[in-house]
Amino acid sequence: MIQHPEQPTSAETPLLLTVEQAACRLGIGRTLAYALVKAGELESVQIGRLRRIPADALPAFLNRLRALAADRPAA
């Protein structure tokens, strides 16, 4: 299995991720990740001047996307 160089193994997965790390785990670009944070779609916290994404916010975001997709009729 190939791992992204910034992605730690599951044994050392941090509780907080940088926006770039979260984007990588979601398979989206950094710009889109920042836009989702700014829009409030992707939960983030600020620690001093740092912006971090809680690791458990990623599955919550994905679950919301799935719920929205289930509510929409298929095209």
Cα end-to-end distance, the chain, whole Å: 35
User: How does residue 72 score in pLDDT terms, banded at 50, 70 and 90?
Assistant: confident
Domain extent, residue 27, equals 14-70
Residue 40 maps to a domain: yes
* Residue 5 clears pLDDT 70, i.e. is over it: no
Least confident of 1-10, 27-36, 55-64: 1-10
Cβ atoms of 2 and 40 closer than 8 Å: no
Q: How many domains does the chain have?
A: 1
pTM of the model: 0.77
State what percent of residues in the chain have pLDDT above 70.
83
Residue 9 maps to a domain: no
pLDDT of the residue at 10? 62
Helix residue spans in the chain (DSSP H): 19-26, 30-39, 57-71
Rounded distance between C-alpha atoms, residue 24 and residue 75, angstroms: 29
